[in-house]
Structure 1
Amino acid sequence: MTAAPVSTPGPTTMAAAPGTTWLPRLLLANLVVEVLIVVTGGLVRLTGSGLGCPTWPQCVPGSFTPVPHQAEGYHRYIEYGNRTLTSVVSIAALLAVVAVWRWADRRRDLLVPAFVVLGGVAVQAVLGGITVLTGLSPLTVAAHFLVSMVLVASAAFLYFRAQEPAGPRQLLVHPLAERLGWAACAVGAVVLALGTVVTGSGPHSGDAKEPARFGFDPRTVSWLHADAVMLFVGLVLAAWVAARLTGTGAAPARAWAAVAAVTVAQGVVGYTQYFTGLPWPVVVLHMLLATLLVVALTRAVVRQRATTGDA
């Protein structure tokens, strides 16, 4: 009799390649910390701690960390905590670049947004310093937030696009539906920009003692912001309906439904903060939802197409 051949593990029984495990984890971590630093930055502003560390890059002259009996009190710890988180964000962005380089075959469609996030973190650090040195100028505060939104969108695109293989991507919805999606993104950007004007015209400008504001009437700019939101809601609903009617598969419609859900939640919170006198916990939630809306919009745009043969 002959001995039965010894079987060897096939590809399906082998341990998963490191890239299939670590790449999505690192890209998700990169996205999460980008969202987190927006929220902590909002806490800095809403607690009046924007000048808790009155100099930059040092916290106070002669020290990079808060010192005892500092005049800024507890505000120094809030501002310093946000500055410290910048190091975590930098490490996450660097690891995302390394992960794409090593485990994603250096795909250009992933390397570009990965480097955008890494470079943007450095830009944000400098812009944050300028914001402190200019006494929390509302222009630099607004720019600081809007650049953060670009980085969140880039990190989100990186995470969701990496879930698909490389290669040509085909449209899963009617071209008009895709245009509606891009129009919603454009109006969404306007909504975010107007939101910074509303913030810069209201009570939460960043410093508890000497608030810096644009000088616009808060009620007027709030109405303008709300008008832009109404247009945005209409475009989101139109994109969702178009994706349902013309989409190949359910992914595009599900993605736009998620955008609509976040938009509704954001609207409820927005009106709540307006009619309750802008309590800072509600404003923080409003900022978090704004960031998640950017994530949802990015996901919806990505899901409108799929790699050929992967739809």
Structure 2
Amino acid sequence: MINSISLTNRKEQRFRSLAFLTVILIYLVILAGGIVRSTGSGMGCPDWPKCFGRWVPPTEISQLPANYQEIYGAKLKGEVTFNAVKTWIEYANRLLGVLSGFFVLATLIASLTYLRKDNTIVWGSIAALLLIGANGWLGSRVVATELAHYMITIHMFLAIAVAFALLFILVRSNAARLTVERLGITSQRWLLVVALSLTLGQIILGTQVRDSLDEVVKQLGYAQRDNWISNLNWQFYIHRSFSLVLLVFHLVVIYQLRKLTTVGWLANLTKALISVVVIEIGTGVLMAYFGVPAIAQPIHLLLALVMVGLQFSIWLLLTPAMLVSNHRYKESRLVEV
């Protein structure tokens, strides 16, 4: 019996480790997507799933047919000649996407150890696999629509949904390490819901700013990077101003969360949240006043999505009914042991 329990514990620990690594990989895919966008490499591979008709992309123009511009010209988005750097940036993004799919599949297989103990974890893993499969297909549609802005936005939000599914099973699988005491935490949960909604709204507005920036870049070119911001429309100024509103609101959220506990998971995630908010605003300032450096754009996006992931995870911790299916976890204050 002891050996059986020990084996089960090891399997569960492997699952938690794998789920955590898969979450990290999903965020790396998001970062890679941001790099693709900031470098203008979205059509570095003008076809899908192959790249210039090859499973291994070309590294130099001599590996392409002489009439490649005639074949792919309509999709090269202004690239007069083959650009190996952009091609491999886009292809690396695709490879990371495929790798993340395998990790999600492995997470699902590993979750079967919870089939009798808590099948919600298995269903969450299935949801993550279906979502990442749908997002992989959507990636092909992004290429097919030649980087239509609305498709890119949907692609990003589906990636958030994948991250949420994985975060749910990761937090839930650690529920055995948490106990709950009677004490109302309804107000903190609602604050997290509002914070999550406001942040998602800010992200949507940010995608609109990014679309406007794309148009400015087409008009001015990369040589006039310092003039990009001054040519943006009203959406940028609302996006910039609203970041201060988010900062103030998050300070209120942090204050309320710190009332619950100063140690353990909740405290650590709370500290991480305020750090990410501050750094996120810092990268926004960097882009607004220092010529939109290319490295800042994908980091800015990544931090925004890490922020909503932290908000969602904290909300789960404050919602015991979302963590376990039995009644010994009651709706109240979280205390960690």
Which TM-score applies when normalising by structure 2? 0.76
Q: Using the alignment, how far apart are the partners of 2:216 and 2:46 within structure 1?
A: 15
- Say which of 136, 158, 177 aligns to 1:147: 158
- Say which of 87, 90, 95 aligns to 1:79: 90
Bigger CA drift: 132-141 or 252-261? 252-261
Q: 1:181 to 1:115 in 2, by over 3 A?
A: same
Aligned to 2:188: 177
CA contact (8 A) 1:172 1:248 kept: no
CA contact (8 A) 1:45 1:206 kept: no
Q: Using the alignment, how far apart are the partners of 1:256 and 1:220 within structure 2?
A: 33
CA contact (8 A) 1:48 1:205 kept: no
- Say which of 283, 290, 306 aligns to 1:269: 283
Bigger CA drift: 95-104 or 249-258? 249-258
Within 5 Å, which residues of 2 pair with 1:102-113? 102-103=113-114, 105=116, 107-113=118-124
Residue 19 of structure 2 corresponds to residue 27 of structure 1: yes
Aligned partner letter, 1:97: L
- Tell me the CA shift for residue 154 of structure 1: 2.1
- Say which of 52, 57, 63 aligns to 2:44: 52
- Tell me the CA shift for residue 173 of structure 1: 4.8
Q: Using the alignment, how far apart are the partners of 1:260 and 1:298 within structure 2?
A: 14
Aligned to 1:157: 168
Within 5 Å, which residues of 2 pair with 1:188-227? 188-203=199-214, 218-227=232-241
Bigger CA drift: 36-45 or 18-27? 18-27
CA contact (8 A) 1:181 1:236 kept: no
Aligned partner letter, 2:56: T
Residue 243 of structure 2 corresponds to residue 229 of structure 1: yes
Residue 47 of structure 2 corresponds to residue 42 of structure 1: no
Q: Higher helix fraction: Structure 1 or Structure 2?
A: 2
Aligned to 2:57: 66
- Tell me the CA shift for residue 183 of structure 1: 0.8
CA contact (8 A) 1:44 1:79 kept: yes
Q: 1:272 to 1:221 in 2, by over 3 A?
A: same
Aligned to 1:5: none
CA contact (8 A) 2:192 2:253 kept: yes
Within 5 Å, which residues of 2 pair with 1:113-124? 113-124=124-135
- Say which of 142, 150, 155 aligns to 1:131: 142
Q: 1:169 to 1:132 in 2, by over 3 A?
A: farther
Q: Using the alignment, how far apart are the partners of 1:233 and 1:117 within structure 2?
A: 31
RMSD: 3.4
Q: Using the alignment, how far apart are the partners of 2:144 and 2:216 within structure 1?
A: 15
Q: Using the alignment, how far apart are the partners of 2:29 and 2:287 within structure 1?
A: 22
For structure 2, the residue ranges without an aligned partner over 5 or more in a row are: 65-80, 223-230
- Say which of 73, 77, 88 aligns to 2:99: 88
Residue 305 of structure 2 corresponds to residue 291 of structure 1: yes
Q: Using the alignment, how far apart are the partners of 1:130 and 1:193 within structure 2?
A: 20
Bigger CA drift: 101-110 or 256-265? 101-110
Aligned partner letter, 1:38: I
Which TM-score applies when normalising by structure 1? 0.82
Deviations 1:79-112 (A, max 9, x none): 1111112221111111111111224646343233
- Say which of 292, 295, 301 aligns to 1:278: 292
Q: Using the alignment, how far apart are the partners of 1:206 and 1:48 within structure 2?
A: 10
Q: Using the alignment, how far apart are the partners of 1:173 and 1:95 within structure 2?
A: 38
CA contact (8 A) 1:113 1:157 kept: yes
For structure 1, the residue ranges without an aligned partner over 5 or more in a row are: 1-8, 212-216
Aligned to 2:225: none
Q: 1:53 to 1:208 in 2, by over 3 A?
A: farther
Identity of aligned residues (%): 20
CA contact (8 A) 1:53 1:59 kept: yes
CA contact (8 A) 1:19 1:104 kept: no
Question: How many pairs are equivalent?
Answer: 297
Q: 1:91 to 1:14 in 2, by over 3 A?
A: closer
CA contact (8 A) 1:113 1:155 kept: yes
SS at match of 1:279: coil
Aligned partner letter, 1:65: V
